[in-house]
Amino acid sequence: MRQSFALGIGGAAGQGVATPGDIFAKIFSRRGLHLNAYNAYQSIIRGGHTFLTIRTGADNISNMGDHLDLLIPLNQDTMDRHLSLLTSGGACLYNSDSIKPGAAAAGVQLCPVPVSQLADITKNKIAQNTLAIGAALSMMGVGFAALEQVLAEQFRKKEQKVIDENVNLARAGYEYASEHFKPFAWPLPMTDARYAVLSGNAAMAMGGAAAGVKFYSAYPMSPSTGVLHWMAEHARKADIMVRQVEDEIGVINMAIGAAHAGVRAMSATSGGGFALMSEGLGLAAQAEIPIVVIDCQRAGPSTGVPTKTEQGDLWQMLGAAFGDYPRVIAAPLDIADCFKLIPEIFNVADKFQCPGIVLCDLLLAEGRLSVDPKELDFFPPIDRGELITSNGDAHEPYKRYKITESGVSPRAIPGIPGFTHVVSSDEHDEDGVLISDEYTNTHKRRAMMEKRMRKMDGIAAAVPPPQLLGPAVADVTLIGWGSTYGVIDEACELLLDHGITANYLPIRWLVPLHGDAILDLLKSAKHTIIVENNYSGQFARYLRSETSFVPNGHIRKYDGEPFMPHHIVEAVKEQLAGKTNLSVPTHEVMV
Amino acid sequence: MATEAIAPKTLTMKDFKGRVDPDWCPGCGDFGVLAAVQKALVELQIPNHEVMTISGIGCSSNFPGFIETYGMHTLHGRSLAVATGMKMANHAMTVLVTGGDGDGFGIGGNHFMHTMRRNVDLTYIVMDNQIYGLTTGQTSPTSRLGMKTKSMPFGSVEAPINPISLALAAGATFVARAFSGDQKHRVALSTRPSNTRASPSSMSSAPASPTTTTTPSSGSVRA
C-alpha cells in the first residue's frame, strides 16, 4: 500500500479554492513529491460547490485515492458534505467564526481557527484561506520558509505590502496550529527528485509543439480549452500559428487547409465540438490529408455535464464521418502519456496520410499530475511520410492517388512546380479527377477504396499491441482503456491486501485494436472484468464486435466523477463472490 | 533538396486548361467565369503551381477540376475555412475560392462573414444564380421573394440576402459584382485584387441566363 497524504479544499465557486490548491501543489512538488490534483467543479459562474483534492507522497501517485487526511472547508456547505468521510487520524481545519462542524468519526481531529481574532477580516476577505494554508503546513511538518517563498511568487505582481500581509497571515495560521493542533502522524517526506506538475491539456499542447505542430485551430469548449490557452500563450515562442475561429466546423476545415499546405495541424475539442467536426474528418480521410484531433470527453449526451468526466465518445469516434476509411484512434493512459502520445500519433497519421484521433477525457485534461521531465522527450523522432517537396528529379505525370502496394501515395506539397493536382472530398481517380465526372467506373471506385483501406495493414504494423501488466497469473484480470490506467493499477495493489491477485490490460490504441493479440493475452485469464466510465460499456461492445470476446463482468461508473480505487476493489469482490456481473459504483459525496 | 528553378516561359490559356472539360449546362454563366479567371492568370503571368483553387460543393464548385492549378474540392460551405488554413500555412500561394450562392451564403454563411472580417489575402468568386443547381433546383439564400422552385413550389416566403452589403458590413476590403457574360469586366475584376492585394475580395457573378424562370403569384407574398 503506497503511503500518501490527501487534502481536500472546498467552497463555493469564487471563494478561492484554486489558489490554495496551487500553493500546496508547488510546495509538494518542490519537496520532490509526486502529486495528483483533481478539481470537482460545476458549470456555474458563482456559488455551487467546488472541491479540490490534492494527493501527494514520495511514491508514484496516479489518482485521487480513497480518503482524505485533511479537510479544509471554506464554507458550511463543504463541511456538511465532506466531514463524515474523514476517518481516524484525519483532521478538519475550519473558520470557527462562520462554520460549525457536524458529527465526525472517532479519531478525527477538529481544528477550529478563530479567524477574526487572527486577522482583520473587514480588509482581507480571504484571510481564512491564507490562515488555513499556514495551519495545514504546520500540521504536515513542512517548514514555514517553503510557504513564504511560494507566497512571494504567488503575489509577485502585487506590492511588497501585500506580499508581507499574506506572509504574516500565513505565519499567524502556522503558529496558531503549532500551539493548538496535533500534527499529523505521518509528516510529509522530502526527496531530491524534481517533478513538473502538468495538466493533461498542457501536456497535449506541449506534445504537439514537440511533434512540430505549426497550426493549431480551436473553438473554446470545456474541458479542452486549456490546450488552446497553452498554444496561444506559446505561439510566438514556439512559432505556431494559433487561431481561435468561429466554430468547430471552421476549426477542422482550417486545419485541413493548413495540413494540405504541408504543416502538422492539430485541434482539441470535446464531444459536442467533435460532432461538428465529423464531416470534416471525412474530408481528411477521403482526400488523404493527415490531421490530429483531440476529444477531451465529458459527460454527455449533448451539453451534458460540462465539467464532469466520462468515457462516452468511443462510438462517436468509431462511427465518425460515415463510410469506411483508414484512421488511427488512441486514448492516453495518464498525463505524461498525454504528452508522449501526440508525436507518436502524428507519425502514424503523416506516414499513412489519415486522420488521427486522441480520446482524452476531463479527468486527464484538467487534472494535474506530477511528471518526471526526464520521461518527456522534447525532440521525438518525426516521420513526415512520403512527401514530395521538390521538383528536382524528372518524373512522369504526377498522380496524387497513385495505386501502390502499401496504399500510401507519395504526397506533393502545393507550390512545387510540375505536381499540380486537385484533392477532393469526392471519390476520385489516381490523378485526382472525380470519378463522377466521367463515368462512375466501378473498377476505379473499388480500387481506390481498397488502396485506402490497405493502409490499415501498415498502420497495424506501426502500432504496438497492448500488454498485460502485473503477475502473469491472477484471480482477476481488469481491462480498461485510457484514463482508468492509474486507478486500476492502484486497485490491483489494494486487492492483494484482500487476498485477491490481480493483473490488468490497459488499452491505449483503439484503432488498430490488435484483437488477436488481446485474445491471446486473455486466453488464460481466470476472471475478466471490463472497467469504464460510461453507461453502456462502449469498449466492451467494441471489443466484442472485433473479437467476440465477452468478459465475466463489468464495472461502469457514469455519475460524472472518476473511479476511486475502492470502487473497483469493492466491485471486484462482489463479482468474485458471484453477487453480480455488473457493478455501478456511486460517488460517496455530492460534488 | 531544394526546388529547382524553372526557366520562365510565357503562360498561355493552354497552360491553365484543366484535365477534364466542364460538364456545366450549355449557356451556364460558369463558363464565362472560368475563362475570365484563366485569362486573368495569363494576364498576371502567375505560374499555375503558385495558384490554389479551392471550392465547396455545387455546380460552380466543380471549378478546380477544370483549371490546371493546385486545387481542393472540399465540403459544402467550408471552402473559405479550408482556404484560410491553406493561406495561413503558405503565404506564397495565390488562393482562389470558387463556389455558388447556396454553398457560400447558405451553409457557408458563417464562414463567409468571418472570412470577410478576417481580411485574409484570398479571392472569393461566387457564381450566384439564385438556385441550388446541382441538386436540380431548390431555393437558395439569394432566390427572389416569391420565386417558385422544387423545394418551395408555392414561392419563397423569405427575403433574399444581399451578398454585397453583407460583405461590406462584415468588413471586406474589396467587394465587386459582375455579369458572367461581360468578359472584359470580369477579367479586370479578377486581376485587380491580385494586383492591389486588397483582400479578401469577394465577387459575385450573375448568371448568363437564369436557370429557372418563375413569376410570383398574383397575391403577393409577404415576407
Which residues of chain A neighbour B71 with C-beta distances below 8 Å? Answer: 420-423, 432
Q: What is the pLDDT of residues A98-122, one digit of tens each?
A: 999 999 999 999 999 999 999 887 7
Please name the helix (run of DSSP H) or strand (run of DSSP E) that holds residue A443, with its range, or none.
Answer: helix A442-462
Strands B70-73 and A422-424, sheet pairing: parallel
What is the pLDDT, as a whole number, of residue A258? 98
- CA–CA dist B171, B114 (Å, integer): 9
Across the interface, whether the CB atoms of B3 and A241 are under 8 A apart is answered: no
- CA angle (B28, B48, A418) in 5-degree steps: 125
Tell me if chain B has a CB within 8 Å of the CB of A215.
Answer: yes
Q: Which of A164, A105, A178, A97 is nearest to A135 (CA)?
A: A178
- CA–CA dist B203, B62 (Å, integer): 17
Tell me if chain B has a CB within 8 Å of the CB of A220.
Answer: no
Across the interface, whether the CB atoms of B81 and A414 are under 8 A apart is answered: no
d(CA B77, nearest CA chain A) in Å: 10
Q: Are A358 and A342 in contact (CB under 8 A)?
A: yes
**Identity of residue B103:** D
- CA–CA dist A49, A81 (Å, integer): 10
What is the pLDDT, as a whole number, of residue A435? 82
User: How big is chain A, counted in residues?
Assistant: 591
- CA–CA dist B83, B104 (Å, integer): 13
What is the pLDDT, as a whole number, of residue B6? 67
Please name the helix (run of DSSP H) or strand (run of DSSP E) that holds residue A530, with its range, or none.
Answer: strand A528-532
Chosen for mutation from A278, A420, A423, A434 (greatest number of chain B CBs closer than 10 Å) is A420
Calculate the CA A459 to chain-centre distance.
24
Question: Which residue segments constitute the domains of chain A, with CATH numbers given?
Answer: 5-180 (3.40.920.10), 201-375 (3.40.50.970), 387-462 (no CATH), 476-583 (3.40.50.920)
Q: In terms of CA atoms, which chain B residue is nearest residue A412? A: B70
Helix axes A335-352, A442-462, angle to 10 degrees: 140
User: How many CB atoms neighbour CB A186 within 10 A?
Assistant: 14
Chosen for mutation from A254, A276, A426, A438 (greatest number of chain B CBs closer than 10 Å) is A254
Q: Are A54 and A369 in contact (CB under 8 A)?
A: no
Q: Are B205 and B180 in contact (CB under 8 A)?
A: yes
Q: Is the pLDDT of residue B199 over 90?
A: no
Domain segments of chain B as ranges? 32-206
Of B47, B50, B81, the CB nearest to A250: B81
Cis preceding linkage at A343, omega within 30: no
Tell me if chain B has a CB within 8 Å of the CB of A440.
Answer: no
Residues of chain B that touch chain A, judged by Cβ-Cβ distance less than 8 Å: 1-4, 6, 19-20, 23, 47-50, 52-54, 57, 62, 64-65, 68-75, 78, 81-90, 92-93, 110-111, 113-114
**DSSP letter (8 states) at residue B18:** -
Tell me if chain B has a CB within 8 Å of the CB of A146.
Answer: no
Q: Which of A90, A171, A158 is nearest to A127 (CA)?
A: A171
**Identity of residue A382:** I
As to burial, measured by CB atoms within 10 angstroms (0-12 exposed, 13-18 middle, 19+ buried), residue B115 is: buried
Q: What is the pLDDT of residues A53-66, one digit of tens each?
A: 999 999 999 999 99
Sites in chain A below the pLDDT cut of 50: none
Q: Are A180 and A96 in contact (CB under 8 A)?
A: no
Of B52, B65, B111, the CB nearest to A414: B52
Fold annotation for B32-206: Rossmann fold (3.40.50)
d(CA A456, nearest CA chain B) in Å: 24
Across the interface, whether the CB atoms of A416 and B90 are under 8 A apart is answered: no
What is the pLDDT, as a whole number, of residue A336? 97
d(CA A381, nearest CA chain B) in Å: 20
Tell me if chain B has a CB within 8 Å of the CB of A253.
Answer: yes
Band (pLDDT 50/70/90 cuts) for residue B193 is: low
Place of cell 466521367: A438
User: How many CB atoms neighbour CB A396 within 10 A?
Assistant: 6
**Identity of residue A274:** F
Chosen for mutation from B3, B94, B98 (greatest number of chain A CBs closer than 10 Å) is B3
Q: In terms of CA atoms, which chain A residue is nearest residue B48? A: A420
Which residues of chain B neighbour A259 with C-beta distances below 8 Å? Answer: 85, 89
**DSSP letter (8 states) at residue A476:** E
The strand order across the sheet containing A582-583 reads: A502-507, A476-481, A528-532, A553-556, A582-583
Of B1, B49, B110, the CB nearest to A418: B49
Cα Rg of chain B (Å, integer): 18
Paired with A107 in beta bridges are none
Of B4, B23, B69, the CB nearest to A391: B4
- DSSP characters over A277-303: HHHHHHHHHHHT--EEEEEEE-B-STT
- CA angle (A71, A77, A82) in 5-degree steps: 35
Chain A residues 262-321 within an 8 A CB cutoff of chain B: 262-263, 265, 279-280, 283, 287
What is the pLDDT, as a whole number, of residue B216? 24
Distances (CA, A) of B211 to B106, B128, B186: 19, 11, 21
Q: Is the pLDDT of residue B13 over 70?
A: yes
Cis preceding linkage at A301, omega within 30: yes
Of A243, A390, A420, the CB nearest to B68: A420
Read off the C-alpha cell for B24: 456545366
**DSSP letter (8 states) at residue B2:** P
Tell me if chain B has a CB within 8 Å of the CB of A239.
Answer: no
Tell me if chain B has a CB within 8 Å of the CB of A176.
Answer: no
Read off the C-alpha cell for A271: 464531444
- 3-class SS shares of chain B: helix, strand, coil, % to 5: 35, 15, 45
Which residues of chain B neighbour A287 with C-beta distances below 8 Å? Answer: 72
Place of cell 467552497: A11
Distances (CA, A) of A590 to A40, A48, B127: 10, 11, 58
Read off the C-alpha cell for A22: 496551487
As to burial, measured by CB atoms within 10 angstroms (0-12 exposed, 13-18 middle, 19+ buried), residue B222 is: exposed
Across the interface, whether the CB atoms of A417 and B6 are under 8 A apart is answered: yes
**Identity of residue B195:** N
b/e for A295-334, b at 16 or more Cβ within 10 A?
A: bbbbbbeeebebbbbbbbbbebbbebbeeebbbbbbbbbb
- CA angle (B160, B162, B164) in 5-degree steps: 160
Across the interface, whether the CB atoms of A422 and B3 are under 8 A apart is answered: no
- CA–CA dist A50, A2 (Å, integer): 27
Across the interface, whether the CB atoms of A214 and B89 are under 8 A apart is answered: yes
Which residues of chain B neighbour A415 with C-beta distances below 8 Å? Answer: 49-50, 70, 90, 92-93
Phi, psi (degrees; rounded to nearest 5) at A422:
-115, 130
Band (pLDDT 50/70/90 cuts) for residue B2 is: low
> What is the end-to-end Cα distance of chain A in Å, rounded?
27
Percentage of chain B with pLDDT > 70?
83
Which residues of chain A neighbour B54 with C-beta distances below 8 Å? Answer: 257
Read off the C-alpha cell for A229: 490557452
Across the interface, whether the CB atoms of A253 and B74 are under 8 A apart is answered: yes
**Identity of residue B153:** P
Place of cell 503546513: A137
Q: Reduce the DSSP state of residue B191 to 3 states and report it.
A: helix
- CA–CA dist A544, A554 (Å, integer): 13
Of A258, A392, A414, the CB nearest to B1: A392
Give the count of Cβ contacts less than 8 A between chain A and B: 155
Please name the helix (run of DSSP H) or strand (run of DSSP E) that holds residue A360, with its range, or none.
Answer: strand A355-361
Q: Is the pLDDT of residue B201 over 80?
A: no
What is the pLDDT, as a whole number, of residue A99? 96
- CA–CA dist B159, B145 (Å, integer): 5
Which residues of chain A neighbour B46 with C-beta distances below 8 Å? Answer: none
Q: Is the pLDDT of residue B208 over 60?
A: no
Q: What is the pLDDT of residues B52-89, one digit of tens each?
A: 999 999 999 999 999 999 999 999 999 999 999 999 99
